[in-house]
Structure 1
Amino acid sequence: MTSTGAGNAAASVDLPAGFACHAGNVGMKDESDDVMVLAADRVSAAAGVFTKSLFAASSVRLSQINVADGQAQAVVVVSKNANVATGEQGERDTANLAQRVAELVGCAPDQVLVGSTGVIGVPYPEGAVDKYFDRLAEEPSQALNSRDATAAATAIMTTDTHPKTASATVPSGGGEATVVGIAKGSGMIEPDMATMISVITTDAEIAPDRLDVVLRRVCDVTFNALSVDTDTSTNDMVVMLANGAAGAVDEAELESALGAVSLDLTRQLAFDGEGAETLIVVTANGARDDAQAKRVAKAIVNSPLVKTAVHGRDPNWGRVAMAIGKCSDETDIDPDRVRIRFGDQEVYPTLATPEALAELEAYLASDEVLISVDLGIQTSDVGGSFTVYGCDLTDQYVRINADYTT
């Protein structure tokens, strides 16, 4: 397997064979693209993982229904409007959007997955969707004539500072299959799903039931290991389509490629957290099991005091100890057996010298800060382990969200 991340936001990434996309302005944003349609050239295996929010958007509920049979042919995402808490009108608008995309693509409405992201409680502008798709209907072949995944990723951004794409390849019966993912998300990010939408495509062949298993397994250690601010969105989803154009692949190889793409996107999402300046990666090991390791790691990455310490380059490792200590239900954690490290530097139980604290302060100025915790319950090579991804907390985060609708 080979993979290519999209750290360079300007890089162009093509969709896999048999996929095409369209990006344009439907009227949610003033000028920039705010709608993305992505379609396969055939009905494809499909799977999805969705938010568990009690206020889940009508787009989420419709997509859950449409993907339940493991098939889909198109995905549409509207940005800058979540279409949540908009009553019966919102339900009709979601269904109408699926219908108009189906007409454009030439598939059934129940083969369209719908995403929407942005402000809650605001209906779509009256008539905007129909007016836009009426224009596209005049030249449907021109509407879906691009394979530019970067343009598709740009159209779904809200407070993101750049489009997020990633790709990987895997050997197939037809030579080589490709996995390409796009994602958006910057704030209101915490599982379940994390605030984000991701659309992943592949020309590999895989049965729908196996695609569902593989996607969920990968999401557990990537997108659902992501947190910016502990807030779960109403619209989160990760959906994947596999059209089989490149032929059969080894499932383990495909899962590895999907994992590489998903991890790349996860890291991009964390690093682009609203106002963020530092990517924080926290690994807990030596735990009783992976679930315990995840709880401890999430307690650390979600701590506002840890986040602000990293942002301020304050070598106050005691905040990590505090965050571990909050996990009071984990009664088998013994502070005397815990080890805490920042990068390669052990900070507990080793007593920090002034020189060591100066080194730690310099390390905290890095673009990426790794915090690792060995709980000492099991040996680190056999005990539970989990890695989570987040970012620092800055005054810009407060400003962005204080002014979000104004």
Structure 2
Amino acid sequence: MSICTARGFKATGAAVGIKGGGRLDAALVVSDHPVNCAAVFTQNKAPAAPVQLSKQHLSETQGVVKAVLLTSGNANAATGEPGLNAARTLTEAVATSLSCASDEVLLCQTGLIGIPFPLDSALDGVGGLASSLGSSESDGELAAKAIMTTDTFAKQVVIEGDGFVIGGMAKGAAMLEPDMATMLAVLSTDAELTPSEIKNALVGAVASSFNSLVVDGATSTNDTVIVLASGTAGRVDLESFEDALAKACVKLAEDMAVDAEGATKAVRITVSGAATDEEAHQGARKVANSLLVKCSLNGEDPYWGRVLSEIATAKIACDPSSLSISYGGTQVSFGGVAVAHDEATVAAHMAERWISIEIDLGLGTGVGSILTTDLGHGYIDENRTTS
């Protein structure tokens, strides 16, 4: 199960000197030949050097890519022209090692913001990554491990489609908020697709996965999701591919929720009965961002009053007289007041790793859900100093 599962791709991971101490900090994903590609990037108004450069490269090649270089330990963000020069030098080193054009190499970087990128330490190692490329599951796993920062496990996925395969890897454990944030993901497929077909599928997949994930409300400078299509499986049904890509992205987003810094609970908040799907998502996001709700989740306390307060202050149509709140499918409130329920059943659900909160506004057919987490002491411990 790795980025190499789809035919036509190789990968590797190595320590190149960014983190120091011999820790893995660089990954390379390479296609057997230049392939069609699409990507989505952070909405942050201060995009990092790798985001700026990758956008430029995709524009220059019109969506044709040979390789993706990913480094961890330094975001190369807020580093000015020296940061851009470092990014260019890294992609040129990879291009030289692969005998391809430098604009056929995309770059993803993650780590500390505002720290000059240690180009002198990393350049030789990056230039040598191509010599260790392989297509085995272990090669893909090595790449997935190399992009981790505060992650505690490598995040990988494989989805078998109708005549095609999607493999992927991602990193992300904090600064996660809709519009993506400090998360990187690269997915490969052997389906034959045009860049525009990939982009359309990717936009939809990201909307239901990474952009529906809230951990701490922070949006990073570096987040990037890239899809590479080798075409070795031939043309495929577009709807089937879109469904498979969405499943792959949801799986990676769920792994991020489970691995969020300091979290003890992964939570799916679903709002139904809204006036529109958009309002349902807005309402779910409002609840997901509530620190009070997150604290209740950490304490395994089904404090529905906090959920009611948050949904009722969202800028959406809401009438408390028709509003229902449930935990794990057990209704605890209706019409703005408590209802009799099996407290033991709810308590057992709150003790689980995955928790679900269902809110029915009773007004329309709109439905939307958001992934989030509780707020644990470990989050503060991890982020009270520069990390």
TM-score by length of 1: 0.90
What are structure 1's unaligned runs of at least 5 residues?
1-10
Asked if 1 retains the 8 angstrom alpha-carbon contact of 2:185 and 2:224, the reply is yes
- Shift of the alpha carbon at 1:134? 4.8
Alignment RMSD: 1.6
For the Cα contact (< 8 Å) 1:102–1:109, is it kept in 2? yes
**Mapped partners of 1:43, 1:198: distance in 2:** 19
Instruction: State how far apart, in whole Å, the 2-side matches of 1:90 and 1:48 are.
Output: 21
Contact 1:170 1:249 in 2 (8 A): no
CA distance in 2, matches of 1:165, 1:311: 27
How big is each residue's C-alpha offset from its partner over 1:88-118, in whole Å with a ceiling of 9 and x where there is no partner? 1101001111111111222211111110000
Q: Which amino acid aligns with 1:336?
A: S
Structure 2 equivalent of residue 375 of structure 1:
361
Give the counterpart of 1:201 among 188, 193, 207.
188
Contact residue 3 and residue 11 of structure 2 kept, 8 A: no
Q: Is the 8 A contact 2:95 2:104 kept in 1?
A: yes
Partner of 2:67: 74
Q: Structure 1 segments of 4 or more deviating over 6 A? A: none
Structure 2: distance between partners of 1:195 and 1:51: 9
SS of 1:285's equivalent in the other structure is strand
Distance 1:403 1:167 in 2: 36
1:6 is matched with: none
- Matched position secondary structure for 2:296: helix
Match in the other structure for 1:221: 208
Are residue 40 (structure 1) and residue 31 (structure 2) matched? yes
- The equivalent residue for 1:7 is none
Runs of 5+ unmatched residues, structure 2: none
Change (3 A) 1:13 1:43: closer
Match of 2:350 in 1: 364
The residue number in structure 2 matching 1:261 is 248
Matches within 5 A, 1:215-364: 215-327=202-314, 329-330=315-316, 332-349=317-334, 351-353=338-340, 356-364=342-350
The answer to whether the Cα contact below 8 Å between 2:323 and 2:361 also exists between their aligned partners in 1 is yes
Cα deviation for residue 283 of structure 1 reads 0.7
Q: Secondary structure at the match of 1:67?
A: helix
Q: Secondary structure at the match of 1:42?
A: strand
Residue from 123, 131, 151 that aligns with 1:130: 123
Shift of 1:267: 0.5
Paired residues, what number? 380
Which residue is equivalent to 2:198?
A: 211
Contact 2:155 2:255 in 1 (8 A): yes
CA deviation vs aligned residue, 1:217-270 (integer Å, no higher than 9, x gap):
111111110111110011001011001011111111111111111111111111
> Deviations along 1:258-310, whole A, 9 cap, x unmatched?
11111111111111100111110011111111110110000111111111101
| Alignment pair present for 1:168 and 2:150 | no
Give the deviation of 1:171 after TM superposition.
2.5
Amino acid at match of 2:157: A
Deviation string for 1:51-71 (max 9, x for gaps)?
011111010111112223122
SS where residue 356 of structure 2 aligns? strand
The AA in structure 2 aligned to 1:48 is: A
Contact 1:194–1:226 (CA under 8 A) maintained in structure 2: no
Q: Distance in 2 between matches of 1:123 and 1:376?
A: 53
Whole-angstrom distance in 2 between the partners of 1:89 and 1:35? 20
367, 379, 393: which one aligns with 2:375: 393
Aligned in 2, Cα 1:215/1:126: closer, same or farther, shift over 3 Å?
A: closer
Q: 2:86 aligns with which of 93, 98, 106?
A: 93
CA separation of 1:146/1:229 partners in 2, compared to 1, >3 Å: closer, same or farther? same
Give the partner amino acid of 2:100.
C
- Secondary structure of 1:131's partner? helix
Instruction: Give the match for residue 18 of structure 2.
Output: 28
- The answer to which of 62-71 and 269-278 deviates more is 62-71
Q: Does 1:144 align with 2:130?
A: no
Q: How far 1:313 sits from its partner (Å)?
A: 1.0
Q: Is the 8 A contact 2:42 2:180 kept in 1?
A: yes
> Is the 2:40–2:226 Cα contact (8 Å) retained in structure 1?
yes
Q: Would you say the 8 A contact 1:271–1:390 is kept in 2?
A: no
